[in-house]
Structure 1
Amino acid sequence: MRDGDIIHGLIRGLSVIECFDEEHARMSITDVALRTGLERATARRCLLTLTHLGYATYDGKFFQLTPRVLKLGHSYLAGTPLPRLIQPFLEQLSAATSESTSAAVLDGTDILYVARASTRRVMSINLAPGARLPAYCTSMGRTLLAALPSEEAHAILQRSNLIAYTSHTRSSMTDLLTELAVVAAQGFAVIDQELELGLCSIAVPLHNASGHVVGALNIGAQSARSPTSRMIAQFLPLMRKVQAEVRPLLR
């Protein structure tokens, strides 16, 4: 792709949208410039343009995104069959296990939640479609990374900020590559308190009718209630069943 084909203004505008999050819901021009690395004047023009288009509000000091931004994500969700196809299966699986279930896709170094059926809140952060978590230390992330060619998975891990969130987190490149090989061989991934203490999860890949991995399915629970041993023994067979039922539907 040639540099002349790239609209750098669009890149800057999207970076401004992406710099808003739960901890930075209201920001000044200076805040946005610092978080994006843009010049203050550039950040100002981007913010005022977003306000003009209805994607942000401005009270004279702080900018805040509006619900109109959700239209950007809705375009993706409406254009891919996975979220609407998997949702009934997630709800059935959640009812059968009394635990929360989710589906996600890989987006850069993160997983992006596209569907969820929640029986209770299992993490300190709120997980819903549109939420993101690091791929390297999540069960769905490792499942999706393990499905990639080894060189591509290695490159994603190199770009990742490999933080040890808990004392259980596998965060070294050697450990992660070994773990991905195990996940690829066994066809599922388990996480035991690596992202947050007290949280366990198990994930399997979701294939389309052609056999390509297009997403991942997981069950997350408190480790005291559903340790990984129980997940493998009791939940994995149910997840395998969903995996097989969904495959011919994803074309």
Structure 2
Amino acid sequence: MSASDVNDDLLARDEPAGFADAPADLNDRDHVNSLARGLEVIKVFSRRTPKMTLSEVAQATGMTRATVRRFLLTLVREGYVETNGKHFNLRPKILELGFSALSSMDIWDVAQPIMNALSERLQESCFAAVLDHDSVIYVARATSNQRVSVGINIGSRVPAHCVSTGRVLLSALPPDLLHQYLDEMTLTKFTPNTITSKVQLRSLIDEVRLQGWSIVDQELEVGLRSLSVPIRDGQGKIVAALNVCCPSMRITPEDMRTRVLAEALEASNNITRALQI
């Protein structure tokens, strides 16, 4: 996984992260249709479709080619999209949209030094992620001096069903939203370990909700093992997942369930306590 994974802006909610709803008092008069359609154009670019033709974007959004062309050329002119004349793809500048939102959230100012300390103690890479519909987006990172590190960067987006951050965040969703997720999601198999049964995934998510943590062993990428715990705000709501990710050759499952889990839970609790001050 690399920085070429799709970079998208985050729409967060006050409930467990993800699935943002519009304000109840929003009426049609307040809705800017052109802005909404422009955002739809941005969101069709994904890890599976990082480069798309004008026709492909039009088909994916249900808009006319002429409409999509105007949106894409505007995004090109503003520096958010680039084109080779046939294909379009997002540029790193798109991250500025997400960073603007994140920079206003005090939680990341609090979390970063705690994550840095956790990474140094464990000598492994640590991340924070939030839920965005059926994906997680990594929004903070801390790395150690280990020569072999995990290639996940801020802004990387991965499917939620096959990573420990995703299962922690999904476990925080209200039952109706979790049911909607499982009903609509296609569970892609990335490795021989990837869970693709919705019944089994639901059972694992329920288990995570009860125990308060998740370990996923090589379901997204062979050789990659990770553990995640919830990050809660000052009111106790789960707003993100704290993740320790490492090559499986360095950390055994037993070590993950003992030493790494204890350190991650302590770091998460420290973040929550700091937010209550």
For the aligned pair, the TM-score class normalised by the smaller chain equals 0.7 to 0.9
Q: Which has the higher contact order (CA 8 A, sep 6+)?
A: 2
CA distance in 2, matches of 1:207, 1:73: 20
Structure 2: any 5+ residue segments left out of the alignment? 1-25
Structure 1 partner of 2:171: 146
Structure 1 partner of 2:199: 174
Q: CA deviation at 1:231?
A: 0.9
CA distance in 2, matches of 1:65, 1:90: 29
| Contact kept? 2:138, 2:155, Cα under 8 Å | yes
SS at match of 2:183: helix
The AA in structure 2 aligned to 1:72 is L
Structure 2 partner of 1:197: 222
Structure 2 partner of 1:129: 154
Out of 3, 12, 17, the residue aligned to residue 42 of structure 2 is 17
CA distance in 2, matches of 1:72, 1:245: 28
CA distance in 2, matches of 1:53, 1:149: 38
Structure 1 partner of 2:241: 216
Structure 1 partner of 2:275: 250
Q: CA deviation at 1:223?
A: 1.3
Out of 81, 96, 99, the residue aligned to residue 121 of structure 2 is 96
SS at match of 1:250: helix
- The alignment yields a C-alpha RMSD, in angstroms, of 2.4
Q: CA 1:109 to 1:240, structure 2 compared with 1: closer, same or farther past 3 Å?
A: same
Q: Is 1:71 aligned with 2:96?
A: yes
SS at match of 1:127: coil
| Contact kept? 1:109, 1:159, Cα under 8 Å | no
- TM-score, normalised by the number of residues in structure 2: 0.80
SS at match of 1:115: strand
CA distance in 2, matches of 1:205, 1:104: 10
- TM-score, normalised by the number of residues in structure 1: 0.87
Aligned residue pairs: how many? Answer: 248
| Contact kept? 1:99, 1:219, Cα under 8 Å | yes
Q: Is 1:43 aligned with 2:71?
A: no
| Contact kept? 1:202, 1:228, Cα under 8 Å | no
Q: CA 1:64 to 1:192, structure 2 compared with 1: closer, same or farther past 3 Å?
A: closer
Give matches, 1:219-238, under 5 Å.
219-238=244-263
CA distance in 1, matches of 2:36, 2:169: 27
Q: Point out 4+ residue stretches in structure 1 off by more than 6 angstroms.
A: none
Q: CA 1:180 to 1:66, structure 2 compared with 1: closer, same or farther past 3 Å?
A: closer
CA distance in 1, matches of 2:173, 2:27: 27
CA distance in 1, matches of 2:30, 2:129: 31
* CA deviation string 1:11-70 (max 9, x = no partner): 221122233457766654334334544321111111122234443455655555455433
Provide the identity percentage. 38
The AA in structure 1 aligned to 2:149 is R
CA distance in 2, matches of 1:164, 1:11: 32
The AA in structure 2 aligned to 1:232 is R
SS at match of 2:158: strand
Q: CA deviation at 1:131?
A: 1.3
CA distance in 2, matches of 1:137, 1:23: 15
CA distance in 2, matches of 1:127, 1:20: 19
Structure 1: any 5+ residue segments left out of the alignment? none
The AA in structure 1 aligned to 2:263 is L
Q: CA 1:225 to 1:173, structure 2 compared with 1: closer, same or farther past 3 Å?
A: same
SS at match of 2:162: coil
CA distance in 2, matches of 1:41, 1:193: 44
CA distance in 2, matches of 1:166, 1:61: 33
SS at match of 1:136: helix
